[in-house]
Amino acid sequence: MEQLKSNKKVPFLPQDIPFNDDQRQWLGGFLAGLHTRLLVKEEHVSTASAPQQQIKPLTIIYGSQTGNAEGVAEEAAEIAKNHGLSPAVIDMDDADLTQLSQAERLLVITSTYGEGEMPDNAQALWDDISSESAPRFDNTYYSVLALGDTNYDDFCLAGIQWDERLEALGATRIAERVDCDVAFESPAQEWIAETLPTIAQKGSNGHSEVVPSPPPAATKKAKPKFNRDNPFEAELINAYTLNKPDSGKETCHYEFSLLDTNESYDAGDAINLIPCNRPDLVEELINILGARKEQHEQFDGHTLALQTIFSEHLEIRVPSKEFIAEVAARSGSAEFIAKLEEDPQSLNDFLWGLDCVDLLTKYAPTAFTASDFIRLAKPLAPRAYSISSSIKKHQNQVHLTIASVRYNQGNRAHNGVCSTFLADICKPGDKVKCYFAPNKHFSVPEDTSAPIIMVGPGTGIAPFRGFLEERAATQATGDNWLFFGDRQKACDFLYQEELEAMQQSGILTRLDLAFSRDQTQKVYVQDKMQEQGAELFSWLERGAYFYVCGDAFRMAKDVDKALHNVIAEHGGLDAEQAQSYVASLKKQKRYVRDVY
C-alpha cells in the first residue's frame, strides 16, 4: 500500500515479505484496521489541546443488492468522522445527480450483481450519469470500492464502470479503485484506511459546497455481532423434503434453533451458512493429488492436516479462475489453452459442469501437488439463503427452503457444496455455523394496509412464506397476491397445504399458479402475470409493492419484461413511458428483487 502524503501514514507490506497471498491479505487488513484504531485514539486524545478542525463534507453513495456495500459505506462514514469529515451516506436510488456533481469529496461503494449488472438501487442513477447530458464533475475528488465475485466473468464491472465514468466527467481520482472478491472485509478496510486521510486533505475547507442530503432514514440497525469471521452455531432441529416422490427435484425445508444465540432477523433477510465439503469429494481430491489426508500443509499462516484444509477452509468443488488457467497451462491441450483467449462464454461452455477433480482427471492427473492446489484455490465461501419464515410466528427459529444440487457427468456424481451438506451430512441435533445478512430493502411495507404482489417460482417462494407469516402475525390489512410456479403440480407444489390454508383464512388474497410441465405448452409465472395484467396493473395503481425472488439470469429478466408489457398495455403507455413508470416504482422502493 503506497505511502500517504499526510503526516499519518498507512502501514504497508514490503513486496519481498515471505508470506503467501492469503497471509499478505490478512496481515494487510489487520494493519489497516490497527492503523484506523490508532488514528481514532490519537485524535481523541489530542482533541482537547488542538484547535478545533474545520469539518469538511464527504458524500458516500452505495449500490447494494444484498447489503454488503451499504454496510461498508456505514463503516467508512463512522471512521470518516475521525478525519475531520462530515459524512452523508446515500442510497444511489436517493441521490440527485445535479447535487452529486457539486460534491467536492465523493466515495462510491458498489457491488456488481448477476453477469456484470448494476445493483437494482443503482440502475437509475447509473442511467443518468451515463447519459450525454450528465453534468461535469470537475471539482470532485473521488475513489471507488467495488465488491464482486471472481467466479463471474464481469468481476466488479459496476465499480469499474463508475470509476471510468467519473474520470471521464472530469473528477479527480485520489486513490486507486480496489476490487474486492467475496472475502471483501480486509481489502475494504485497507481502502478505507488509505482513502479517508487523503480525501480529507482535498477540496475547500468551508461548507460552501452543496452536499446531497440523505432522506430521513429508518431507525438504524445495530451492527451484527456475528459475521463470517465470528459466526454463531444454530442447531438443526427439523428437516424434510417438500417435493413428492415422483418429482425430479429435491427441495428441502430446514428448521434451525436460535435458542441461546440472542439473534433475531426480519422477514426478507438472508442467512449465510458456512458448510463443510463432502468427505467423498475431499477423498477424491486428495487421491488425485497423490497426497495423504493426514499430511500437513501450510494454510493461512498455520500448519494443518490436509483433510482439515480441504474439508473446512477451501473451495474444492468450483475451480477458481487461477486454477483453471494453471491447469490449462500444464495440460498441454491446445484446445483448452485456446479457450482461455476466446470470449468468456466459450470457456464456460467448454468447462460446463466440470469441477476441480474433473479438470485434474481430464487434463493434468499428475501435474499438481497438494500445496499447488492450496495456492490456487479460493477460500470456502459462505452460502447465502433467503429466510423462509417470520420469527413472529416461529419464535427462536429460522427456516430455509433449499433445492439440493445434484447431477451426473462423466460417470461421476456432482453435488452442491452447501445444499447436500445439509441434505446428506447434517442430522437433527447437529450445529451449523452461520450469521444473518440483513436486507432492509427487501421487506414487507411498513404500511400494513399496502397491498403486495409476490413473484417467486421454485425456491423463490422462500421469503414470501416469511412475508405471509409476518403479515398474518402483525394482522396487516393489505391484500397479498402470490405468483408461484414449478414443474408439476402433483409433486412440486411447495408448501401446498400451508398456502391453501392461507387462502382459506384470507391472508393470501390471490394465488396464481404456473406449473410448466402440466400441459403441452410450458407456462411460467410471467405468462400468468400477463394473463392477469389488468388486475395486476390496478393493484399497482392503488399502491401495491412488487417483489421478485429467484433465478436472476432468466426468470427475473422475463418477469421484468412482462411487468413492462403489463404496464404499457393496461396503462395505455408507450415503451418509454412504461419504463419511466417502472423506474418510479423502483425509486419508491415498490419494485424490489432478491435474485441470485
How confident is the model over 538-593, as pLDDT tens digits? 999 999 999 999 998 899 999 999 999 999 999 999 999 999 999 999 989 999 99
Whole-number pLDDT of residue 20: 58
Report helix, strand or coil for 403: strand
- pLDDT cut 90: percent of the chain above it: 78
383-386 sheet: strands from edge to edge: 383-386, 270-274, 431-437, 232-241, 251-257, 397-403
Q: Is the dihedral of CA 578, 580, 583, 584 positive or negative?
A: negative
Burial letters 396-420, b for 16+ CB under 10 A, else e: ebbbbbbbbeeeeeeebebbbbbbb
Distance of alpha carbon 414 from alpha carbon 357, whole angstroms: 10
DSSP H/E element including 417 = helix 417-420
Reduce the secondary structure of 489-554 to three states and give it as a string.
HHHHCCCHHHHHHHHHHCCCCEEEEEECCCCCCCCCHHHHHHHCHHHHHHHHHCCCEEEEEECCCC
Least confidently predicted of 2-6, 505-509, 552-556: 2-6
The burial of 224, by beta-carbon neighbours within 10 Å (0-12 exposed, 13-18 middle, 19 or more buried), is given as: middle
Backbone angles phi, psi at 255, to 5 degrees: -125, 130
Residue 317 grid cell: 468443488
Distance of alpha carbon 58 from alpha carbon 78, whole angstroms: 12
Distance of alpha carbon 93 from alpha carbon 108, whole angstroms: 13
Read off the pTM: 0.86
Task: Check pLDDT > 50 for residue 388.
Answer: yes
> Under a CB-based contact definition with an 8 Å cutoff, are residues 92 and 158 in contact?
no
> Under a CB-based contact definition with an 8 Å cutoff, are residues 126 and 161 in contact?
yes
Task: Label the pairing between strands 105-111 and 141-147.
Answer: parallel
Task: Check pLDDT > 90 for residue 198.
Answer: yes
Least confidently predicted of 51-65, 321-335, 375-389: 51-65
Q: What pLDDT digit, counting tens, does each position of 76-101 carry? A: 999 999 999 999 999 998 999 999 99
18 or 471, greater pLDDT? 471
Task: Check pLDDT > 70 for residue 213.
Answer: no
Whole-number pLDDT of residue 439: 86
Alpha helices in 1-136 (DSSP H): 21-46, 68-80, 97-100, 123-130
Whole-number pLDDT of residue 117: 87
Whole-number pLDDT of residue 108: 98
Task: Check pLDDT > 90 for residue 259.
Answer: yes
> Under a CB-based contact definition with an 8 Å cutoff, are residues 199 and 141 in contact?
yes
Task: Check pLDDT > 90 for residue 488.
Answer: yes
How far from 211 is each of 54, 76, 129, CA to CA, in Å?
Answer: 16, 17, 17
Distance of alpha carbon 324 from alpha carbon 359, whole angstroms: 8
Question: Which residues does residue 87 pair with via DSSP β-bridges, in sequence order?
Answer: 58
Whole-number pLDDT of residue 6: 40
Q: What pLDDT digit, counting tens, does each position of 129-188 carry? A: 999 999 999 999 999 999 998 878 889 999 999 999 999 999 999 999 999 998 898 899
Length of the chain: 596
HSE, CB side, 13 Å, CA atoms: give it for residue 60. Answer: 25
- pLDDT cut 70: percent of the chain above it: 88
Q: What pLDDT digit, counting tens, does each position of 315-342 carry? A: 999 999 999 999 999 999 999 999 999 9
Whole-number pLDDT of residue 8: 44
587 or 9, greater pLDDT? 587
Whole-number pLDDT of residue 356: 98
Other CB atoms within 10 A of residue 16 CB: 5
Whole-number pLDDT of residue 515: 98
The burial of 230, by beta-carbon neighbours within 10 Å (0-12 exposed, 13-18 middle, 19 or more buried), is given as: exposed
13 or 240, greater pLDDT? 240
Q: Which residue has the cell 417460482?
A: 457
Q: What pLDDT digit, counting tens, does each position of 10-52 carry? A: 455 555 555 555 555 555 555 555 554 454 444 444 444 444 4
Reduce the secondary structure of 281-334 to three states and give it as a string.
HHHHHHHHCCCCCCCEEEECCEEEEHHHHHHHHECCCCCCHHHHHHHHHHHCCH
